[in-house]
Amino acid sequence: MGRVSLRFVLGRVLAALPVLAGVVVLTFVLMRLLPADPAAFYATGPAMGPAEVEALRRQLGLDRTVAEQLLIYLRDLGTGNLGRSMVTGQPVTEDLALRLPASVELTIAGFLLALLVALPLGILAATRPDSAIDHLTRVIATTGVSMPTFVTGLVLIFVFYFLLGWAPDPTSRYDLFLPQSPRLTGFLTLDTLVDGNWEQFGAVAARLVLPAATMALFAIAPLARMTRASMLAALQGDFVRTARALGLSPAKVLLTYALRNALIPVVTMMGMVLSYMLGANVLVEKVFAWPGIGSYALDALVASDYAPVQGFVLVVAAIFVVLNLVVDLVYAAVDPRVGLG
């Protein structure tokens, strides 16, 4: 694991920079240039005459050249200024910082849940090809990728909230009638744990289960399929035959030798799945009224309030670029053939 050299890390970080620059420019193009004139969006009220629209354009910097606008945009970005939301009246940066933990907590919970199911399922299917568990894995995988997250979420709400009454009602992240814990990280599971607020922790965890399961159901399919395929390949490798011939226990052969080698493509798949989940967040947050950045951007979009949408796209893309960087580095740590340079 210690083989990942500093030079390799630096090289990867530098390689991510042009992509990040491209993301910034594309976001700018999307939000500033494509709508014929953002001022016209705001200027729908009857009180807005040509003079008022012109004043608004000047206030938004739209009377300048595109190059000047891009420079102003970059300067704002550099100082962490993403504009102000017309709906909440707050700076977008503050709004996003307030809501980001909710989205991240949901994504991580969903991702861990998916790994917990997908890895054992994939390994079992690979060790017993064409058995019942193998077919079950295939059915789960194909069904999983065919289910839109917003339908899965609604079905789960109907079954576990309406029919069985096991889940709390899907309208908030915590129990409004219990004392709240002070905000430390914004991750309510952590905040309530630190506070020792067990009752609220239970309420928070119960509210996290259904949306996390919705996210996980889609993610299980690609992860389980990839685990199965690469485990199957690894189990046919010479090193597994050697390990078996040397009399190592089946569990050690499977988990230490085969799994470590099989995990390499799975790590790549994890990066793709996590990025997909960041996008799916929007739909899941809408279904469960989850107060994350996705539902924030949606509310803004409906109100033609473009600064929050732009900030949201930028933040999510930036997280995504960083995430891919991390996947590259993890990849190098898992695969001894990468990262020697």
Partner 1 sequence: MSGATLRHIRHVVATNPVTLAAVLLFAAILLAALLGARLAPLDPLQTDVARALRPPSAVNWFGTDHLGRDVFSRTLVATRLDLLIAVSAVSLSFVAGCAVGALTGYFGGLADRVVGRLVDVLMAFPLFVLAMAMVAALGNTVANIIYATAIINLPFYIRFARAEVNLRRAAGYVLSARLAGASDGRILARVLVPNIMPVMVVQMSLNMGWAILNAAGLSFIGMGVKPPTPEWGIMVAQGASHVTSGHWWVALFPGLALVVTVFAFNLLGDGLRDIVDPRRRT
- Interacting residue ranges for partner 1, rule: CB under 8 A: 18-20, 22-23, 26-27, 30-31, 34-35, 142-143, 145-151, 154-155, 157-158, 161-162, 169-170, 225, 228-229, 275-276, 278-280, 282-283, 286-287, 297-298, 301-302, 306, 309-310, 312-313, 316-317, 320-321, 324
Cβ(20)–Cβ(322) below 8 Å: no
Cβ proximity to partner 1, 191 vs 211, nearer residue = 211
CB atoms within 10 A of CB 189: 16
Shortest distance (Å) from residue 282 CB to partner 1: 7
Residue appearing with tokens 């599971």 = 189
Cβ proximity to partner 1, 220 vs 278, nearer residue = 278
Shortest distance (Å) from residue 336 CB to partner 1: 25
Shortest distance (Å) from residue 22 CB to partner 1: 3
Shortest distance (Å) from residue 275 CB to partner 1: 5
Cβ proximity to partner 1, 162 vs 166, nearer residue = 162
Residue appearing with tokens 């193998």 = 134
Cα separation of the two ends of the chain: 14
φ/ψ (deg, to 5) at 76: -60, -45
CB atoms within 10 A of CB 50: 8
Cβ proximity to partner 1, 190 vs 318, nearer residue = 318
Cβ proximity to partner 1, 197 vs 310, nearer residue = 310
Specify burial of residue 315 (Cβ count, 10 A radius: 0-12, 13-18, 19+).
buried
Tell me the CA distances in angstroms from 257 to 72, 240, 241, 243, 263, one per residue in order. Answer: 54, 7, 10, 8, 10
Shortest distance (Å) from residue 77 CB to partner 1: 16
